[in-house]
Structure 1
Amino acid sequence: MDVTQATGSSRFRRVHEVITPWIGSHPDSVAVEDSRHRLTYQDLDEAVQAAARQLRELGVRPGDRVLLVAENCAALAVLVLAASACDAWAVVANARLSPREIDNFIAHSGARRVLYAADVSPEALAHAQRAGAATRAWLHVGELAVGPLNECAVPEPVSHDAGGQVAAMIYTSGTSGRPKGVMLTHAGLLHIATLSRRLRGMGPGDRIYGVLPMAHVVGLSSQLVGSLFCGCTLQLAPRYAPEATAAALREGTTVLLGVPAMFAKLLEWCARTQTSLAGHSLRIIGTAGSPLTMDLKQAAEAAFGLPLQNGYGLTEMSPTVAQTLLDAPRQDCSVGPPVPGVEIRIVDPSGNDVASGNVGELWVRGPNIMKGYYRDEALTRAAINAEGWFNTGDMARQDSDGALFIVGRTKELIIRSGFNVYPVEVEQVLNGHPAIVQSAVVGRAADGNEEVIAFVELAAGVSVDRDELDAYLRQRLSPYKVPTEVRAMAQLPAAPTGKLLKHEIKRLAEKAPDVQQRLI
């Protein structure tokens, strides 16, 4: 029987309820595990209920925000679900953020309590010590540090309706670098969870490698809520390492989801260490979060012997907008058709629909759209119009078969000598060079014009000559698209997910290279 029929999202008002069917049918199946804890669905239910009681004892009320400073671990999964059971908002912050960033999140969210996974992450421990947090024991998941009560916190209104009640708030800077608190509803997260079964066919036999941080939307939504909705086993890893990923694949992992950079680094590590990926139990490999290149797609498919699925989404859409289909593998780098329930428009600068196949700005709407940006009604109104369309800021085109192609960001468009240069096109060519693991292309103002500046991360122990690289690029790009400057870095600035931080890279382009960068 289809799980979406037996446990359809309409049965649930809150995300913690997704484990309920499995407590009855698969109580002894492992739900969540990390390097120290292994919780069955029965254990997880007990841990969530006990944590919810403790949160209430700590003064957490319905409508309060609970900030969770952690990296992926079983305790974090329990606390996210426990916040749901309290009708509080889970605000997950990656422990590797700076004290300034954590303090900004605490102040902006008006968190009633801040909890720290101090025995899992040394960075979380440092934040906890700075805050004077006290350690407490939590059932099935060990100790967590609890910050002082914010007696000035004001609870937000609570809605019985899943579409009106916020389940989680994710802070995102997007391409602008300005942090925004994205309010995600229970209905939105539950809608995405149903797609894990409907489009990926996930179920109790699946083992998901959970390395995408729950402080980001894919890790929280598709990875955590989606896995539990389907009765899977979620193996949580605090941070990405190619060798750890390869080891997990030898332990029966069936679904591996990540950003392109994760697959690129895994393949580079395998080549360097002469490690084969043969003999795995995977049935799905998939990527999203940044553009996929044909070279990486083909290399990954050759290494795994599986089609590399692709998708597209945004934090504001909880996150999925489009996804390739398992029964219709693609030979291109499309992100697939819009997922069920999501509508799209591709429009010109005046908001009029463009002709089929033409490039325009992508607008989306659906049941998974955010409630808005917390404490910023003006920004919310600017992003979502009166008809409910969210302006993604991405440039896209749609083929006649319905497949979407993401061309680039509106704000990242480079206009060089009157010609449009989409960074993603240049990045795809650069990433196809055998010496380059990944790249980032940005624009830089220069005497009334814009220059194309590229940053590249080279494979370990490999160098490249600029004349040779120029010849390679000129064979594949129009002259105006060839970068004026190419800088090599040991590691490009990236979020914990592996997604490159374009706003930081753009700032680097405005400055002369330092010791961590060298011109090619």
Structure 2
Amino acid sequence: MSQERPWFKSYPQGVPHEVDLEQYRSIVSVFDEAISKYRDRPAFRNFGKTLTYGEIDKLSRQFAAYLLGELKLKKGDRVAIMMPNCLQYPIAIFGVLRAGLTVVNVNPMYTPRELKHQLVDSGASVLLVVDNFGKTAQEALAGTQVRQVITTALGDLVGFPKGAIVNFVLKYVKKMVPDYDITGAVRFKDTLTLGQLHALPDVDIDSGDIAFLQYTGGTTGVAKGAMLTHRNLVANMQQAGVWVGTGLDYGNEVIITALPLYHIFALTANCLVFMKLGGLNHLITNPRDMPGFVKELKATRFTAITGVNTLFNGLLNTPGFDEVDFSNLKMTLGGGMAVQRAVAEKWKKVTGVTLVEAYGLTETSPAACINPMNLHDYNGAIGLPVPSTDACLKDDDGNIVPLGEVGELCIKGPQVMKGYWQRPEETAKVMDAEGWLHTGDMAKMDENGFFYIVDRKKDMILVSGFNVYPNEVEDVIAGLDGVLEVAAVGVPDDKSGEAVKVFIVKKDPSLTVEQIKAYCRDNLTGYKQPRYVEFRTELPKTNVGKILRKELREPAKAG
């Protein structure tokens, strides 16, 4: 078997080939264990307020009792949560899960149309929303199955007087809380009080029950809910836990959680894995405020941080970041999009810690491959398949490609989703008869079992019959001084079918098109060189900071 899995020989010492999938029945079992081990340890911090594991236990129990006792929700009912990182988030998540219900994570930046689609599609009975987005919720509710809206202000659990100040500033100074009116809405703090009137019954939670409906654009237009079961997430917590946990001090780690918890990466890697390790999640509510973010980093003794390439790049380009104390930092994990070499090398130079790239999808809960945590320098790979995970590369006919050749990366393992919620035909498009999930990412594997993404299947640019992978072009240009951000797409071309076009945000205002083209001539073969260069003040991104090539490609093609 090891012949088929060359990655095992590259596993770091102490990492097992398999994890024990029967150890825990549900996320709640892992949560209960963490509570008993770390009851008095800090669990979550936000706006200077810290909640211990014991406090999260008590408050999430009250919320669960409210959902079952007051609202009379039935096992498997869906509860939508729409807020940025704040103390209410973990309480709500663990409360919903303890009640045997399903969490529907909602991006708070959604428009009313997008929110309505997700509420209708998931059939959510309850919506928990932070006041900043109450107006969006008000406009989206008609025609949904939501029968109870719960509202909260960002500072509500921060305590007096700080919480009141936070709420006042957001509403009246920064004007970030538009007025809204939702009939019958209940305040989150009141649900906790009401929950105290009810005992939390013993809820039988099975490993096959759906814990999260995690919506993803996937490879086609409309957002679909990936059904992630308790087994999927427990498996991934164990897989990632044994991988990153080798050099960590259980009960004493502090992880910076700047990516939103409604995103699968932070949800699993930060909230769940570090809960299992007894760590403290330091929640950053608005990482886009980079100067404010750096100020928080300066005031925190943190040992780990996760992020996407754009987040790390943003920090590196924020004044004062190089003055942060990195002496306790042990782990930097990058995922969600390709990490660029220029960013990884600068990160190592400034922090002294290697930026370790990982790879995953919403559909894999998310971790599928991670680089060894003892990696000395950035290696351009997405890493090795994590324990109990199989990976292979297939061609368009479903045949496994020879070593060193490019094929579509396919993943099999206990962390792979049950399927898309109420969309069997969409599920069939990505899951084959043998249980392989087709990721839509083109990759190659080396003889040591390391996988390298060459690009998204659909992002590939075809120039005169040659495949050009945007990641490679972007990686090269990102290495040029004067470039802040770059995205490459294919545009129609009479001669070559497609040509490469790059969109660049300048760091140095004097940067010219000619300098970029000259640099590319030195670093890229002819057909990979951009024919067109367009400067922009910013690039379109998802709320997590992933650059949206699609939004650049469509108008470029039309033009």
Deviation at 1:511, TM superposition (A): 4.9
Equivalent positions of 1:116-515 (< 5 A) are: 116-118=129-131, 122=132, 124-130=133-139, 131=141, 133=149, 135=151, 160-162=205-207, 164-174=208-218, 176-201=220-245, 202=248, 203-240=250-287, 241-250=289-298, 251-270=300-319, 275-447=322-494, 449-459=497-507, 462-512=509-559
SS state at 1:200 partner = helix
Deviation at 1:275, TM superposition (A): 4.1
Q: What is the identity, as a one-letter code, of the residue corresponding to 2:206?
A: D
CA distance in 1, matches of 2:49, 2:305: 21
Partner of 1:155: none
Q: What is the identity, as a one-letter code, of the residue corresponding to 2:311?
A: M
Over residues 369-406 of structure 1, what are the superposed CA-to-partner deviations in whole Å (9 max), with x where a residue is unaligned?
00111111011011111111000111111111111111
Q: Does 1:47 align with 2:56?
A: no
CA distance in 1, matches of 2:464, 2:183: 55
CA distance in 2, matches of 1:141, 1:111: 28
Over residues 334-379 of structure 1, what are the superposed CA-to-partner deviations in whole Å (9 max), with x where a residue is unaligned?
1111110110111222211111111111111100000111111011
Q: Does 1:95 align with 2:108?
A: yes
Give the counterpart of 2:22 among 10, 28, 36: 10
CA distance in 2, matches of 1:199, 1:146: 45
CA distance in 1, matches of 2:123, 2:527: 49
Deviation at 1:175, TM superposition (A): 5.0
TM-score (norm 1): 0.88
Q: What is the identity, as a one-letter code, of the residue corresponding to 1:99?
A: P
Query: Are residues 134 and 310 of structure 1, via their aligned partners in 2, closer, same or farther at CA, if it must alter by over 3 Å?
Result: closer
Deviation at 1:9, TM superposition (A): 6.2
Partner of 1:78: 91
CA distance in 2, matches of 1:469, 1:393: 30
CA distance in 1, matches of 2:416, 2:158: 32
Over residues 225-283 of structure 1, what are the superposed CA-to-partner deviations in whole Å (9 max), with x where a residue is unaligned?
1111111101111231333443343311110110111111111114xx58434544211
CA distance in 1, matches of 2:286, 2:532: 32
Q: Is the 8 A contact 1:51 1:82 kept in 2?
A: yes
Query: Are residues 3 and 324 of structure 1, via their aligned partners in 2, closer, same or farther at CA, if it must alter by over 3 Å?
Result: closer
What is the identity percentage for the equivalent residue pairs of Structure 1 and Structure 2?
30
Query: Are residues 66 and 3 of structure 1, via their aligned partners in 2, closer, same or farther at CA, if it must alter by over 3 Å?
Result: farther
Query: Are residues 25 and 233 of structure 1, via their aligned partners in 2, closer, same or farther at CA, if it must alter by over 3 Å?
Result: same
Query: Are residues 289 and 13 of structure 1, via their aligned partners in 2, closer, same or farther at CA, if it must alter by over 3 Å?
Result: same
Q: Is the 8 A contact 1:19 1:41 kept in 2?
A: no
CA distance in 1, matches of 2:340, 2:284: 26
Deviation at 1:133, TM superposition (A): 4.5
Query: Are residues 441 and 139 of structure 1, via their aligned partners in 2, closer, same or farther at CA, if it must alter by over 3 Å?
Result: closer
Q: Is the 8 A contact 1:394 1:409 kept in 2?
A: yes
Deviation at 1:140, TM superposition (A): 5.7
Q: What is the identity, as a one-letter code, of the residue corresponding to 2:419?
A: G
SS state at 1:322 partner = strand
CA distance in 1, matches of 2:260, 2:61: 24
RMSD of the alignment, in Å? 2.8
Query: Are residues 146 and 220 of structure 1, via their aligned partners in 2, closer, same or farther at CA, if it must alter by over 3 Å?
Result: farther
CA distance in 2, matches of 1:238, 1:46: 23
Deviation at 1:139, TM superposition (A): 10
SS state at 1:420 partner = strand
Partner of 1:62: 75
SS state at 2:259 partner = coil
180-189 or 43-52, which moves further after superposition?
A: 180-189
Q: Is the 8 A contact 1:457 1:488 kept in 2?
A: yes
Query: Are residues 248 and 324 of structure 1, via their aligned partners in 2, closer, same or farther at CA, if it must alter by over 3 Å?
Result: farther
CA distance in 2, matches of 1:290, 1:81: 28
Deviation at 1:128, TM superposition (A): 4.2
Deviation at 1:479, TM superposition (A): 1.5
CA distance in 2, matches of 1:179, 1:503: 15
Over residues 452-500 of structure 1, what are the superposed CA-to-partner deviations in whole Å (9 max), with x where a residue is unaligned?
12112222x5341111111001111112111222222222111121111
Q: What is the identity, as a one-letter code, of the residue corresponding to 2:335?
A: A
Query: Are residues 504 and 177 of structure 1, via their aligned partners in 2, closer, same or farther at CA, if it must alter by over 3 Å?
Result: farther
Q: What is the identity, as a one-letter code, of the residue corresponding to 2:228?
A: L
Report the count of equivalent residues: 493
Query: Are residues 377 and 463 of structure 1, via their aligned partners in 2, closer, same or farther at CA, if it must alter by over 3 Å?
Result: farther
Q: What is the identity, as a one-letter code, of the residue corresponding to 1:256?
A: I
Deviation at 1:304, TM superposition (A): 0.5
Q: Is the 8 A contact 1:128 1:147 kept in 2?
A: no
Deviation at 1:293, TM superposition (A): 2.2
Q: Is the 8 A contact 1:322 1:338 kept in 2?
A: yes
Query: Are residues 354 and 159 of structure 1, via their aligned partners in 2, closer, same or farther at CA, if it must alter by over 3 Å?
Result: farther
Q: What is the identity, as a one-letter code, of the residue corresponding to 2:328?
A: S
Q: Is the 8 A contact 1:209 1:248 kept in 2?
A: no
CA distance in 1, matches of 2:479, 2:370: 23
Q: What is the identity, as a one-letter code, of the residue corresponding to 2:122?
A: S
Q: What is the identity, as a one-letter code, of the residue corresponding to 1:125?
A: G
Q: Does 1:25 align with 2:37?
A: yes
Deviation at 1:197, TM superposition (A): 3.0
Q: Is the 8 A contact 2:47 2:158 kept in 1?
A: no
Specify every segment of 5 or more residues in structure 2 that has no aligned partner in the other structure, as ranges: 1-13, 142-147, 168-180, 186-202
Deviation at 1:295, TM superposition (A): 1.7
CA distance in 1, matches of 2:235, 2:506: 40
Q: Is the 8 A contact 1:47 1:139 kept in 2?
A: no
SS state at 1:192 partner = helix
Partner of 1:515: none
Q: Is the 8 A contact 2:128 2:150 kept in 1?
A: no
CA distance in 2, matches of 1:467, 1:176: 37
CA distance in 1, matches of 2:365, 2:399: 26
Partner of 1:517: none
Q: Is the 8 A contact 1:116 1:146 kept in 2?
A: no
CA distance in 2, matches of 1:493, 1:355: 37
CA distance in 2, matches of 1:303, 1:254: 15
TM-score (norm 2): 0.82
Deviation at 1:37, TM superposition (A): 4.0
CA distance in 1, matches of 2:293, 2:330: 15
Higher RCO (CA < 8 A, seq sep 6+): 2
Q: What is the identity, as a one-letter code, of the residue corresponding to 1:454?
A: V
CA distance in 2, matches of 1:469, 1:489: 14
Deviation at 1:134, TM superposition (A): 5.9
Query: Are residues 133 and 344 of structure 1, via their aligned partners in 2, closer, same or farther at CA, if it must alter by over 3 Å?
Result: closer
Q: What is the identity, as a one-letter code, of the residue corresponding to 1:469?
A: I
CA distance in 2, matches of 1:167, 1:376: 18
Give the counterpart of 2:47 among 35, 40, 55: 35
83-92 or 13-22, which moves further after superposition?
A: 13-22
Q: Is the 8 A contact 1:172 1:315 kept in 2?
A: yes
